[in-house]
């Protein structure tokens, strides 16, 4: 009997391998960051070969730290940054271009062109659940096929493969040029803007509208089930791949938010709220998108409404790397605590335009309310508050769609920030709750793999693993909450119609 499960978390800034025990506790972690490549303003790329190399290394590190052999691993679950687009040559295994990352805005012109037809940006919403937007994979694929010489012809001839980073890793882990499997799961496929949410298959009419050949796309599978076996000797050879979930869906799974009305908000590079809608595809009237939450092999798909916010933790990185105001991300809290409040300053970090609930590619970042009084402490505070206000935006949208939450389950890198979590509770007016294991993204992938292998018996058994780690209750007066939030909405208005 295998004693552990392993999750590979291929994130935006780093790749992690985490080994979990039966209680959902962390046994060992391997982690490596990869380069963020910014060729021009608004463009963001990753090197897929670097990501694959890092994956092999972090798995080896985690196994070595835990002093385990692959035989002691019941299965591997993969979770990954979604939408990020890789296209590679099936014969050589070489990518034909760097990966175009989810935050990349280079295809805004392409989106405008497609939106000129009847239906505008809502053109495919009833099929894919998504508006037309550079965020999703479809236009990123088209951009590479248009710009790399010969790529379109080679894609049509079946020589090229497309995948989000889950597919890229599965193909490499299961043999690469030597019989690698070309697969993805329903949650990742639902972020391409090419999958029909109800049939869970690539949609012929949508593919035709984007002019993309179906032959380059992976086979779509249930999130929890068979994805082949690791063949590479360097990493966990012989261990089965048993689950694949996009990072936000994995976090919801790791938070045991399996049912309708159950929700989580993850605070990382960006912020992502998911509220389950069960077997129903619900279309938002308030700027949220419809997505697949998970599907167990042989089971029905479960859906969710999602509020995706592009820039939260990455604003903290920007204070660190571009302004040099802090030396590390956690220092933002120390700096913010040097002042009582934001002093009237608000930062709207519309670096990639604004995502949910606004979907405005024409927005750009602004700092408003500057006076001679404002110092770097106020800016640190305004940066943290921007995360809380953007979360309020998407929670209000969910409430308008009928999903009113009476508390918010949170996770991700930013939830170690006490000041932010207290302010979040204050500005929402509901309790904010963090589980003991805040690595919910990796945990969700591990849960998927463990369910498929029988390591865990049922969703109920997983629920029993969920433990409250910390809770923040609102302490701000309602009038103050609404006054501040009103100022935020005014600041958002100032960011629009700039690009
Ligand atoms: P991802 O999975 O998107 O790469 P993580 O969940 O690892 O992100 O979180 C990392 C992000 O959280 C970074 O953008 C970093 O700036 C931010 N972050 C980490 N610790 C803190 C902190 N104590 N306060 C504020 N932001 C933080």
Token pair of 232, please? 């590479």
371-392: average pLDDT: 97
Query: Among 214, 191, 210, 205, which Cα is nearest to 111's?
Result: 210
Assess whether the C-beta atom of 417 lies below 6 angstroms from ligand 1.
yes
Atom of ligand 1 nearest to the CA of 384: 25
94-103: average pLDDT: 97
Cα 147 to Cα 97, 150, 153, distances in angstroms:
10, 9, 12
C-alpha 239/C-alpha 77 separation (Å) is: 11
208-236: average pLDDT: 92
Partners of residue 468 on adjacent β-strands? 435
C-alpha dihedral sign at 351, 397, 490, 387: negative
Is 80 exceeded by the pLDDT of residue 233? Answer: no
164-185: average pLDDT: 96
68-91: average pLDDT: 96
CA of 418 to the centre of ligand 1 (A): 13
Token pair of 109, please? 């012109």
C-alpha 423/C-alpha 384 separation (Å) is: 9
Is 60 exceeded by the pLDDT of residue 50? Answer: yes
pLDDT of residue 437: 86
pLDDT of residue 361: 84
Is 60 exceeded by the pLDDT of residue 304? Answer: yes
Assess whether the C-beta atom of 331 lies below 6 angstroms from ligand 1.
no
Assess whether the C-beta atom of 12 lies below 6 angstroms from ligand 1.
yes
pLDDT of residue 118: 84
Is 60 exceeded by the pLDDT of residue 122? Answer: yes
Mean pLDDT of the chain: 94
Q: Which residue has the tokens 């909450």?
A: 481
Assess whether the C-beta atom of 329 lies below 6 angstroms from ligand 1.
yes
Token pair of 223, please? 């999130």
Name, in order, each residue with C-beta under 8 angstroms of 29's C-beta and a sequence gap of 6 or more: 16, 17, 18, 19, 62, 65
381: exposed, middle or buried (Cβ count in 10 Å: 0-12, 13-18, 19+): buried
Name, in order, each residue with C-beta under 8 angstroms of 82's C-beta and a sequence gap of 6 or more: 102, 164, 187, 188, 191, 246, 247, 248
Supply the Cα-derived Rg of the chain in whole angstroms. 22
Q: What are phi and psi of 379, to 5 degrees?
A: -70, -40
- Stated pTM of the model: 0.91
Q: In this structure, what DSSP letter does residue 123 have?
A: T
406: exposed, middle or buried (Cβ count in 10 Å: 0-12, 13-18, 19+): exposed
User: Quick one: which H or E segment has residue 272?
Assistant: strand 271-278
Name, in order, each residue with C-beta under 8 angstroms of 107's C-beta and a sequence gap of 6 or more: 134, 139, 140, 142, 143
CA of 416 to the centre of ligand 1 (A): 9
Is 90 exceeded by the pLDDT of residue 119? Answer: no
56-74: average pLDDT: 94
pLDDT of residue 234: 63
Is 70 exceeded by the pLDDT of residue 464? Answer: yes
Is 90 exceeded by the pLDDT of residue 484? Answer: yes
pLDDT over 90 for what percent of the chain?
89
Q: What are phi and psi of 293, to 5 degrees?
A: -85, -45
CA of 387 to the centre of ligand 1 (A): 12
* Helix segments in 130-220, DSSP class H: 137-147, 151-156, 165-173, 186-189, 204-210
Give the pLDDT confidence of 331-364 residue by residue, as tens digits: 999 999 999 999 999 999 999 889 999 998 889 9
Assess whether the C-beta atom of 413 lies below 6 angstroms from ligand 1.
yes
Name, in order, each residue with C-beta under 8 angstroms of 180's C-beta and a sequence gap of 6 or more: 93, 170, 171, 172, 173, 174
Q: How confident is the model at residue 439 (pLDDT cuts 50, 70, 90)?
A: confident
pLDDT of residue 419: 97
C-alpha 223/C-alpha 442 separation (Å) is: 14
403-419: average pLDDT: 92
C-alpha 216/C-alpha 256 separation (Å) is: 34
299-310: average pLDDT: 95
pLDDT of residue 17: 97
Q: Whose CA is nearest to atom 26 of ligand 1?
A: 414
Assess whether the C-beta atom of 377 lies below 6 angstroms from ligand 1.
no
């Amino acid at each position: 009997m295998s004693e552990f499960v392993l999750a590979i978390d291929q994130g935006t800034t780093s790749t992690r391998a985490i080994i979990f025990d039966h209680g959902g506790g962390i046994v060992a972690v391997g982690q490596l960051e990869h380069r963020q490549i910014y060729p021009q303003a608004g463009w963001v790329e990753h090197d897929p070969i670097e990501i694959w190399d890092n994956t092999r290394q972090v798995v080896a590190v985690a196994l070595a730290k835990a002093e385990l052999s692959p035989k002691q691993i019941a299965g591997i679950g993969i979770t990954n940054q979604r939408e990020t687009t890789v296209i590679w040559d099936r014969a050589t295994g070489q990518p034909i271009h760097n990966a175009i990352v989810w935050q990349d805005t280079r295809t805004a012109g392409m989106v405008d062109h497609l939106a000129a037809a009847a239906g505008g940006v809502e053109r495919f919403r009833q099929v894919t659940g998504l508006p037309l937007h550079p965020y999703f994979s479809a236009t990123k694929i088209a951009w590479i096929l248009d710009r790399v010489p010969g790529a379109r012809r080679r894609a049509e001839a079946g020589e090229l493969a497309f995948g989000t980073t889950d597919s890229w890793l599965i193909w490499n882990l299961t043999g690469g040029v030597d019989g690698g499997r070309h697969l993805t799961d329903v949650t990742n496929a639902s972020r391409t803007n090419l999958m029909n949410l109800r049939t869970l298959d690539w949609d012929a009419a949508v593919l035709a509208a984007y002019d993309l050949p179906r032959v380059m796309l992976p086979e779509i599978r249930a999130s929890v089930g068979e994805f082949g076996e690791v063949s590479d000797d360097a990493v966990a050879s012989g261990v089965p791949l048993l689950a694949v979930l996009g990072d936000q869906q994995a976090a919801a799974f790791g938070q045991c938010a399996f049912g309708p009305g159950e929700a989580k908000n993850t605070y990382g590079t960006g912020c992502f709220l998911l509220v389950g809608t069960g077997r129903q595809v619900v279309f938002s009237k308030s700027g949220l998108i419809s997505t697949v939450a998970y599907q167990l092999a042989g089971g029905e798909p479960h859906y969710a409404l999602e509020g995706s916010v592009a820039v939260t933790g990455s604003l903290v990185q920007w204070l660190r790397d571009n302004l040099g105001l802090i030396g590390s991300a956690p220092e933002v809290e120390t700096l913010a605590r040097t002042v009582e409040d934001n002093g009237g300053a608000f930062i709207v970090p519309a670096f990639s335009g604004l995502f949910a609930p606004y979907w405005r590619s024409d927005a750009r970042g602004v700092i408003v309310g500057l006076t001679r009084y404002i110092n770097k402490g106020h800016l640190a505070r305004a940066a943290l508050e921007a995360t809380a206000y953007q979360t309020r935006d998407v929670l209000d949208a969910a409430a308008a769609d009928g999903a009113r939450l009476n508390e918010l389950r949170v996770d991700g890198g930013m939830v170690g920030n006490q000041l932010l979590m207290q302010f979040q509770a204050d500005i929402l007016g509901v309790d904010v709750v963090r589980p003991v294991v805040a690595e919910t993204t990796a945990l969700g992938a591990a849960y998927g793999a463990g369910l498929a292998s029988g390591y865990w018996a049922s969703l109920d058994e997983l629920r029993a693993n969920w433990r409250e780690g910390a809770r923040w209750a609102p302490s701000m007066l309602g009038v103050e909450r609404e006054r501040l939030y009103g100022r935020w909405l005014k600041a958002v208005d100032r960011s629009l119609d700039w690009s």
